Structure 1
Amino acid sequence: MIDITIENFEQDVIAASMSQPVLVDFWAPWCGPCKAIGPILEKLEVEYGGGFTLAKINSDEEQQLASAFGVRSIPTVVLMKNGQPVDGFMGALPEGKVREFLDKHVQALAGEPEEEEMPPDEVPESPEGQLEKLQHAVATDPSNDDARFDYAKALLLAGREADARRAFEPVANKVALSRRIDALARWLDAIDFAATQASPADLDARIAADRRDFQARFDRARLLVAQQRWTAAMDELLEILMRDKSWSGDLARKTYIAILEIIEPPKPKVAEGQVPPEDPTVATYRRRLSSVVLS
Structure 2
Amino acid sequence: MSAAIDKPHVFDVTTERFEAEVLQKSLQTPVLVDFWADWCGPCKTLGPILEKLAGEYNGGFVLAKVDTEREQQIAAAFQIRSIPTVFLVQGGQLVDAFQGALPEGQVREFLKHHGVEPVPANDEIADAAPAAPVDPHAETMRLRKAIEAEPDKAEHKLDLALALLQTGAAHEAEQLLDALPANLSTDDRAVKARARLGFAGLLQNAPVPEVLEAAVAADPGDLRARHLLGVHRLVGGQSEAALEQFLEMLRRDRAYEDGLAKKSLIDAFRVIDDEDLVGRYRRKMSSLLLV
TM-score class normalised by the smaller sequence? 0.3 to 0.5
Select the structure of larger CA radius of gyration.
2
Give me the TM-score of the superposition, normalised by structure 1.
0.45
